[in-house]
């Protein structure tokens, strides 16, 4: 009985969505938008707006998973928020940069 209590506490603290699967879903959403946008010859600004609009759910899930994981590792709320901001920005900036490069070709 005493061994079950720590296990129950660990399971209760586990994030609802793991960071890896949330990261993969967000990354896939962003990359799936690239080819159709290139075919439409979408402007960079329009592409950026589309990634924000069409991947908002995946971004929110990714952000929440990072924050939950960071807090489970005893990170302070402000630090967890900053980490989530950095990781989300990194993915978005990468796909936008790639889109910009491909659209110039």
Domain ranges of the chain: 17-104
Q: Please tell me the distance from the alpha carbon of residue 40 to that of residue 74, in angstroms, as a whole number.
A: 46
The residue among 61, 4, 1, 5 whose CA lies nearest residue 28 is: 61
What is the residue-wise DSSP string for 24-35? HHHHHHHHHHHH
pLDDT string in tens for the chain (105-residue length) = 444 444 344 444 444 579 999 999 999 999 999 999 999 999 999 999 999 999 999 999 999 999 999 999 999 999 999 999 999 999 999 999 999 999 987
101's tokens: 């490069």
């Amino acid at each position: 009985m005493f061994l079950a209590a720590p296990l129950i506490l660990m399971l209760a603290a586990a994030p609802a969505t793991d960071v890896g699967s949330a990261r993969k879903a967000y990354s896939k959403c962003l990359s799936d938008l690239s080819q159709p946008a290139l075919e439409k010859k979408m402007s960079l600004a329009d592409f950026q707006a589309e990634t924000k609009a069409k991947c908002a759910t995946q971004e929110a899930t990714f952000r929440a998973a990072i924050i939950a994981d960071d807090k489970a590792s005893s990170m302070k709320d402000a630090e967890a928020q900053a980490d989530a901001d950095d990781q989300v920005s990194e993915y978005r900036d990468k796909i936008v940069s790639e889109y910009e490069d491909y659209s110039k070709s």
